[in-house]
Structure 1
Amino acid sequence: MSAPQSICLLRTSAIGDVTHVVPLVRTLQQAWPQTSLTWIVGKLERKLVGDLPGVEFVTFDKGAGWAGMREVWSALRGRQFDALLHMQVALRSNALSLGIKAKQRIGYDPARAKDLHGLVINERIPARTGEHVLQAIGSFCEPLGLKQTDVRWDIPIGEQDHAWATEQLPGDQPTLLVSPTSSHTLRNWQPQRYAAVMDHAAAKYWRVALIGGPSPAERSMADAVLAACRHQPLDLTGKDTLKKLMGMFCRGQLLLTPDSGPMHMANTVGMKVLGLHAASNPERSGPYSDRRWCVDKYDAASRKYFGKPASEIPWGSKIERPGVMDLIEINDVIERFEAAAEAMGYRTHSR
């Protein structure tokens, strides 16, 4: 297949899913370096990926409602792309796509499509089950005649971001970063349980740093965790930017977090992730490169709430029920912490 002149990528959110698009961008750039790439991305998400070289970015401010859509349509007025890769099935994104002109309009297969997605596309990715989200997004190049075989991120991180991270986390003491809050509140673990694991790490001579954004929910969770800690960690909540956070992920050794954007950001730079999974399936939405250090209670959640093993429920089902994360015990997490520390060569003797 000859190289298309122009491709539009539509994936506006969320942070984790946007990181999954970057390897697809790299695949397209490697195969067709002369093809013009335009990525419609969310306002926050652009702060993470908006400096990828060789990509034109158009910001969609979803908080602006119809005015935000009109801004995107205005920016693209008079243009027609050879292909639109429509990688978001939400009703808002389906409506947004109506103002994007493209010959090929590639979207999800029927099983993964919803909210009238099938009405705004004319071609679909291969129907598969059992895929990680990154693999599903990567398959959007297949109707174009390509195959994503390599997964590469290389998201730019500035020298000033690395320098800031070094100021916060100086020296070579092993560091556990804890990002306790997901935007899906039912994926969050109890503050007292985070605190118990953090105290355990501190007792093993690890530096512990609490991280998170500036939102009231994240500040509230951080305060609850801090109140339960015996060994006070560094509190960096609300003090970073997405790029500075990436700098910290390059310096820390292990990230403790539920299924969240920071999980996938850390994965892009090769940081080990101790993911907490009960409400979501780590095989579908866990840290793509290495899930060995995750706690996986997804099957137990399926049996408790659906009365059947995870293998018998639809792939990708979310089990976001009150109390589901309580299936993850403190000792489950400490065991994975100890295993990760040992694998990295850090002794975990107590104070």
Structure 2
Amino acid sequence: MSLQKKICLMRLSAIGDVCHAVAMVNRMQHHWPDVELTWVIGKTEYQLVKNMPGIRFVIFDKKQGKKAVQDLKAALADTVFDALLMMQVALRANMASRVIKAKRRIGFDWARSKELHWLFSNQRVQPHRHAHVLEGFMDFADALGVPPVNNVRWDIPIDKDADNWARQEADELGDYVVISPAASKRERNWLPERYAGAVDYLVTKGKAVVLCGGPAELDRQTAAAIEQHTSSITRNYVGNTSLHQLLGLLKYASAVIAPDTGPAHMATTVGTPVIGLYAHSNPRRTGPYLNLKNVVSVYDECIKEQTGKAWQDLPWGTRAKGESLMARISLEDVLTQVDNVLM
């Protein structure tokens, strides 16, 4: 094994990014089974990965402000890490990282650094042009000298009770598709009437359809808007599941339809096909990692119209802007992917 035996990983949020980070952690543990790994993580995100073996989790609750930093300092006061993996460029995370003692403070390369990220590191990963977020996290394993893996794996353990609940729900539902319709911002959501059109089409193909999502008001409003346009939804689980129950539902589903949101990436970790809906961000960077071929995206045309340049000629991660971009995704294009994935 490499000399780096005590490793601290700092990735607080969000759910999708934490899923990507899990793949890197799995790679590290596979090749370095005796690694002492500490993960500084957000309060909500911890609930998803809390059962992963061989990891000391330190919860960083952003809502606590300065107290969160003080608690982090106290929790790690007696530890000097061989390496700190600074896998989040947000200034809040950068500032908090100062209380973590490490010989090597590995951050992103210049092209992917922002919010003064470079000031807090003493080493940078190698440049990686047009890397998916997951591949960008793998660059940190490369920097440590962790050998590569042939296949990306996640293996997030699900609570037994949650899995049993999900299995029972799946047995009652039969062959079902999950729609997780709400992203973190309203502008990134597809139109409710078109989600409803997809629901009605799936039902004609013998599929039950359920809605899933978090407890946020936007999630609930989006689900309610869809239900106003169709009576064919079998169950609405929005806001009524734990993360592990949701992961179980995604695992037993035939497919998932979602914009760029956490459940899309959770579904990827359990091998369920995902039809991703994209307009504002480049799916080559943030799409469901194993299902990029199934994405329905209007990003390329939107970014070309707004900048006059093709995506290849823009800084990686450039977002398209606008409140109505998702309306450019047609129902017909989504149903074509539904047929490709399910039929």
TM-score under structure 1 normalisation? 0.94
For residues 171 and 319 of structure 2, the distance between their equivalents in structure 1, rounded to whole angstroms, comes to: 39
Kindly state the Cα deviation for residue 114 of structure 1 after the two structures are TM-superposed: 0.9
1:63 and 2:63 aligned: yes
User: Could you tell me how far apart the structure 1 residues matched to 2:170 and 2:240 are?
Assistant: 13
> Does the alignment pair 1:326 with 2:318?
no
Residue in 1 that maps onto 2:103: 103
Q: Which position in structure 2 is the counterpart of 1:276?
A: 277
Specify the alignment match of 2:304 in structure 1: 303
Counterpart in the other structure of 2:87: 87
Task: Identify unmatched segments of 5+ residues in structure 1.
Answer: 343-351
Code of the residue aligned with 1:106 in structure 2: it is I
CA offset at residue 172 of structure 1?
Answer: 7.2
The letter for the 2-side match of 1:176 is V
Aligned counterpart, 1:25:
25
Contact 1:187 1:320 (C-alpha < 8 Å) held by counterparts = no
Report if the CA contact (8 A) 2:214-2:239 is conserved: yes
Post-superposition offset of 1:312 = 2.4
Paired position in structure 1 for 2:289: 288
Query: Residues 291 and 51 of structure 1: is their aligned pair in 2 closer, same or farther, counting only changes over 3 Å?
Result: same
Shift of residue 130 of structure 1?
A: 1.2
Distance 2:117 2:194 in 1: 40
User: Which residue in the other structure is 1:346 paired with?
Assistant: none
Q: Could you list the structure 1 runs, at least 4 aligned residues long, displaced by more than 4 angstroms after superposition.
A: none
Secondary structure of the 1:169 match is helix
**Is this contact kept in 1: 2:202–2:209, CA < 8 A?**
yes
Could you tell me whether the CA contact under 8 Å between 2:31 and 2:147 is conserved in 1?
Answer: no
Q: How does 1:43-58 map to 2 (within 5 A)?
A: 43-58=43-58
Structure 2 Cα separation of the partners of residues 180 and 46 of structure 1: 23
Q: Deviations over 1:87-121 (max 9, x none)?
A: 00000000010100100000000111111111110
Residues 1-351 of structure 1 correspond to what in structure 2 (within 5 A)? 2-149=2-149, 150-170=151-171, 173-342=174-343
Give, in whole Å, the separation in 2 of the partners of 1:243 and 1:332: 31
Question: What residue identity is the alignment partner of 2:119?
Answer: L
The count of corresponding residues between Structure 1 and Structure 2 is 342
Amino acid at match of 1:209: V
Asked if the contact 1:186–1:320 (Cα under 8 Å) also holds between the matched residues in 2, the reply is no
Provide the C-alpha distance between the structure 1 equivalents of 2:42 and 2:285, rounded to a whole number of angstroms.
23
Where 1:131 maps in the other structure, the secondary structure is coil
Shift of 1:308: 2.7
- Separation in structure 1 between the aligned mates of residue 302 and residue 191 of structure 2, nearest angstrom: 17
For residues 51-70 of structure 1, the C-alpha deviation after alignment (integer angstroms, 9 at most, x for no partner) is: 11000000000111111111
- Determine helix, strand or coil for the equivalent of 1:33: coil
The alpha-carbon deviation at position 6 of structure 1 amounts to 0.5
Instruction: State percent identity of aligned pairs.
Output: 40
Do 1:9 and 1:84's aligned partners in 2 also have CA atoms closer than 8 Å?
Answer: yes
Q: Provide the rounded CA distance (Å) in 2 between the counterparts of 1:61 and 1:316.
A: 27
Task: Report Cα offsets for 1:6-32 as digits up to 9, x if no partner.
Answer: 010000100000011112112222222
Mapped to 1, the partners of 2:234 and 2:304 lie a distance apart of 36
State whether residues 139 and 147 of structure 1, in contact with CA within 8 Å, keep that contact through their aligned partners in structure 2. Answer: no
Question: How far apart, CA to CA, are the structure 1 residues paired with 2:321 and 2:252?
Answer: 32
Larger mean CA deviation between 303-312 and 39-48 belongs to 303-312
In the alignment, the residues of structure 2 paired with residue 148 and residue 10 of structure 1 have an alpha-carbon distance, to the nearest angstrom, of 21
Q: Deviations over 1:180-238 (max 9, x none)?
A: 00113321111111111111111222100011111111111111111111424311111
AA matched with 1:280:
S
Contact 1:24 1:148 (C-alpha < 8 Å) held by counterparts: no
- Counterpart-to-counterpart distance in 2, 1:69 and 1:152: 32
Q: For the structure 1 residues 101 and 81, does the alpha-carbon distance in structure 2 shift closer, same or farther, using more than 3 Å as the test?
A: same
Alignment partners' CA distance in 2, 1:40 and 1:306: 37
CA-atom RMSD in angstroms = 1.4
Residues 115-149 of structure 1 show CA distances to partners (whole Å, capped at 9, x for unaligned) of: 11111100000011111110000110222222432
Report the Cα offset of residue 171 of structure 1: 5.0
Relative to structure 2, which stretch is displaced further, 35-44 or 24-33? 24-33
Distance 1:186 1:296 in 2: 15
Cα pair 2:186 2:218 within 8 Å, conserved: no
Q: Secondary structure at the match of 2:294?
A: coil
Distance 2:86 2:252 in 1: 35
Contact (CA 8 Å) 2:91, 2:116: kept in 1 or not? yes
Greater CA deviation, 54-63 or 274-283? 274-283
Q: Tell me what 1:348 maps to.
A: none
Report the secondary structure of 1:39's partner residue: strand
CA distance in 2, matches of 1:287, 1:246: 15
